[in-house]
Structure 1
């Protein structure tokens, strides 16, 4: 979860985080950029199209869907950042593991010529060139593979750096950043259109929607079980109000105890978890195999010894690939959570 020192680099500017939260410094300049989900302020002489795209990417990666840049407002969508391929896609790169999984579900894995380092599914990606971690993709190595299209992501803060890098290269890109399970189904369709595989994409998306509808019907009438889902332990990160994980937890029969926190991925403290007193805790750390997760260590954190989930022994690791990747396998992730939640009900 460590982040590069450079926040992003545009055609003209190298931007890095300044000392105060939400402030950023442009190399060679004294005036600061001030960025938040509510408003973004940039010295006018620094603002150009590439910097505006980078700031829009920054907002989207944190769950925002509205730009308020120097008091000019407009709505945002990940598709606003797309750059269409100029030829039929024969050489495809994915720089998020969820994107590679969507490609695999469409039967298009043979088109992939490179992936980011944590991509491990479908099996066809295992032998492909690795382009570095998803928060710091090696743009030179990516460009050397001469892709017709890059499938990018803004599902995690920090990924805006990759969008700015692809903009500098001028490469065609498709940007995915879903906030709901239906958005994920929509992303399957978007990828299908870009690859000219619309029929396959409709089949996958329709099957996902049918399964989600069935799961929704099954859980109705049951009181939801309070759940804490942990994406990272230090600092502690969990889904906020703008993340598809809320729906996954709900369809499994639970309720995210931090569903009211603003953002896609939000930081919490042990005291917050203790106050919420979840009955189930799921550990699904980004990029960490489940056999490396030790549920007993949760009880060593200040104030968590008396949390209901800890006392009942319901601190359960689930592979991050099933809970943290917005792709077709979210269905399997819901099923894994539902099994634990049913046991919690007794």
Structure 2
């Protein structure tokens, strides 16, 4: 539920969003069509690409499929000044050999090493968008890979800042976004080299998979428990590693589950890959000792593995390293 605060003040009408339906006051949409853009961004951050906006009576306002290109805006000149607003986007620009154009990034970007010299704009879910506008970038690479980032995309739009919005749901999407970024930056040939390397790595992983897929649980966060759902690129990584996500049937990109649901899913192996947590601070024993998971066979057998979130949680050229790490663990079962 969201309060829609009018720019000129006055009573704030309410909007209610879910993946299946978005309820908006018709009058508010007529007065501010950007509300539909905000609804699309909210949906994209949760893995959906289908808008079903209705008014208070349930009558349709807009029903359509949309693309991420609908959410961004093109650069108006050659792209020489770039801002990245997600660690995966910084790595993408670097893979294209263009990081020298990056003038600022959000706080959690740590690769390539040159990020240390960039101006920092604040946390990934709350960068200083006024400062972004002041820097007058030719293009911002924004993201909708995490719920909450829709506020950034809509905030950039409100400030008239050109942006390429990235939110891949599969390796195929990542490859398409590499090509889009290559076109934006004027380096399409380099983009094709990155794509070719990723495709070759994926093919090698696919060929090495065991004949029987292992049931895999990957944990984004321990309390409450979050895991990838149907609309997450991580499913592809698990498949390339020789596994299948036990919650791949759940709608959305990231879904909350209960200990009882995990026990019922009965994975063969579990990976802890908590968002924003360094590899050395990941604690497999947290899952093994967690109340409610006493009957989880994988935990009892010690089949809980650390997985660096810099690979599993950053959709880009380095993501296949997560598949390699999982493949080694699955091969040892």
Verify the 8 A CA contact 1:93 1:112 in the aligned structure 2. yes
Verify the 8 A CA contact 2:288 2:302 in the aligned structure 1. no
**What SS class does the counterpart of residue 117 from structure 2 fall into?**
coil
Give the equivalent residue in structure 2 for 1:5.
Answer: none
Give the equivalent residue in structure 1 for 2:2.
Answer: 24
2:214 is the counterpart of 1:225: yes
How do 1:182-201 and structure 2 match up within 5 A? 182-201=172-191
Give the equivalent residue in structure 2 for 1:3.
Answer: none
2:48 is the counterpart of 1:67: no
TM superposition shift of 1:54: 0.9
- Give the whole-Å Cα distance in 2 for the aligned partners of 1:249 and 1:119: 25
- Give the whole-Å Cα distance in 2 for the aligned partners of 1:89 and 1:158: 27
Given the alignment, which residue of 127, 131, 134 partners 1:141?
A: 131
Listed one character per residue, the Cα deviations across residues 175-228 of structure 1 (whole Å, up to 9, x for unaligned) are: 011111110011100100001111100110122112212222221x61111111
Give the equivalent residue in structure 2 for 1:33.
Answer: 15
2:160 is the counterpart of 1:170: yes
- Give the whole-Å Cα distance in 2 for the aligned partners of 1:143 and 1:266: 33
Structure 1's consecutive aligned runs of 4 or more residues displaced over 6 angstroms after TM superposition are: none
TM superposition shift of 1:156: 1.1
- Give the whole-Å Cα distance in 2 for the aligned partners of 1:283 and 1:337: 11
**Unmatched runs of 5 consecutive residues or more in structure 1:** 1-22
Give the equivalent residue in structure 1 for 2:321.
Answer: 332
- Give the whole-Å Cα distance in 2 for the aligned partners of 1:30 and 1:204: 48
**Unmatched runs of 5 consecutive residues or more in structure 2:** 55-59
**What SS class does the counterpart of residue 126 from structure 1 fall into?**
helix
Verify the 8 A CA contact 1:60 1:76 in the aligned structure 2. no
- Give the whole-Å Cα distance in 2 for the aligned partners of 1:234 and 1:213: 36
Give the equivalent residue in structure 2 for 1:292.
Answer: 281
2:148 is the counterpart of 1:158: yes
**What SS class does the counterpart of residue 89 from structure 1 fall into?**
coil
Listed one character per residue, the Cα deviations across residues 89-116 of structure 1 (whole Å, up to 9, x for unaligned) are: 1110000111111111111110101111
Give the equivalent residue in structure 1 for 2:237.
Answer: 248
2:293 is the counterpart of 1:343: no
TM superposition shift of 1:30: 4.9
| TM-score normalised by structure 1 residue count | 0.90
**What SS class does the counterpart of residue 302 from structure 2 fall into?**
coil
**What SS class does the counterpart of residue 288 from structure 2 fall into?**
helix
RMSD (Å), alpha carbons = 1.2
- Give the whole-Å Cα distance in 2 for the aligned partners of 1:249 and 1:159: 25
How many residues get paired?
321
Give the equivalent residue in structure 1 for 2:38.
Answer: 54
Give the equivalent residue in structure 2 for 1:107.
Answer: 97
Listed one character per residue, the Cα deviations across residues 44-79 of structure 1 (whole Å, up to 9, x for unaligned) are: 111122211111100111111111112221111111
Bigger mean CA offset, 170-179 vs 39-48: 39-48
2:301 is the counterpart of 1:319: no
| TM-score normalised by structure 2 residue count | 0.93
Bigger mean CA offset, 28-37 vs 57-66: 28-37
TM superposition shift of 1:168: 1.3
